[in-house]
Amino acid sequence: MARTRVGFIGLGLMGAPMASNIAKAGWNVTAWNRSSAAFEGLTVKRAASVAELRDEDAIFFMLPDLPYIEEASADLLESWRNEPPKQGTAVVIMSSVSPTAVSLFGEAVHKASGGNAVVVDAPVSGGTEGARSGSLAIMVGATQSRFDALKPLLETMGTTVRRMGPLGSGSLAKACNQLIVGTTTAALAEAAELAERSGLDVEALYEVLSGGLAGSRVLDNVGPRLSAKDYAPTGPAKFMHKDLAFVLTSAEAVGSAVPMASAAIDLYAELKRQGLGDQDLAVVRQTIANLSQPPAATKNSH
């Protein structure tokens, strides 16, 4: 894809640095965001509406879930019904969404655009640090030709960019990613609570675990926040519950057992019930602490 015009919708904790990295790489980026404060410090143009982005070569969405994307894109699709966009326009969904629902959204976009616009799902992993450094992992659902055209653009945001299959495959890969991240974070939180209540130093525990088979990128990234009980949001924990629901739905469709996901979704539902959903994923440790009981009373030996 030639370095021309790009639209970007959603300048949150992830979206703002992602849009900035595209612009730094030489693309002309015009963005839309509900609040104006998100544009401070960004070298991108501001669109008055999403529909104003109708003639961009690629339009990226980085919003919390597909219903938000459908709402934000309503005027855009109506504009295309009246006057179809240029052939080959790419609508790139970088949010974590349902694999089934994104395929249905692809059909709606195809119909509204007269077949001229194509939806690609390209969810990301790597958190806010990966978004800032341009080192995200990007999982893409698209035809091979569409992927090849978009890859140089996606590589401005990520260092691991892979085509997983047709539309919906990227979202399924992200669901698998979240299954691993969500359950691993919960296990680390559970270990931290057990260790601390037993008199161990959690930071020392994580250090020795990182040198053995239990070491992982999740431990490296989330471990410091878990041990420090630092729950300042790098991304709201409530979204993990949403993502695990996609795992369960996808598993049901193919008859795959997912006992870990089933247990984890109950835990993250409890996290939301405790009112902790807007804090960092590491707050699952507090959820577990709130479920824990006081130490058993020492029996009288006399």
pLDDT at 297: 57
Catalytic residue among 24, 45, 174, 272: 174
Distance CA 161, CA 164 (A): 10
Q: Which CATH architecture has domain 5-166?
A: 3-Layer(aba) Sandwich (3.40)
pLDDT at 298: 45
For the entire predicted model, the pTM comes to: 0.92
pLDDT at 237: 97
List the chain pLDDT tens, one digit each, 302 residues.
555 899 999 999 999 999 999 999 999 999 999 999 999 999 999 999 999 999 999 999 999 999 999 999 999 999 999 999 999 999 999 999 999 999 999 999 999 999 999 999 999 999 999 999 999 999 999 999 999 999 999 999 999 999 999 999 999 999 999 999 999 999 999 999 999 999 999 999 999 999 999 999 999 999 999 999 999 998 899 999 999 999 999 999 999 999 999 999 999 999 999 999 999 999 999 999 999 988 775 444 44
Q: How many CB atoms lie within 10 A of CB 217?
A: 12
Torsion of CA 145, 171, 24, 151, to 10 degrees: -20
The full set of domain ranges for the chain reads: 5-166, 172-291
Please name the residues in contact with 187: beta carbons below 8 A apart, sequence gap of 6 or more: none
pLDDT at 38: 94
Looking at domain 172-291, what is its CATH homologous superfamily? N-(1-d-carboxylethyl)-l-norvaline Dehydrogenase; domain 2 (1.10.1040.10)
Inter-helix orientation angle 238-254/259-273, to 10° = 150
Q: 238 an active-site residue? A: no
Residue indicated by tokens 């795959």:
256
Torsion of CA 226, 133, 19, 222, to 10 degrees: -10
pLDDT at 4: 82
Backbone angles phi, psi at 95, to 5 degrees: -80, 165
92 vs 25, 126, 261, 281, CA distance in Å?
18, 18, 27, 26
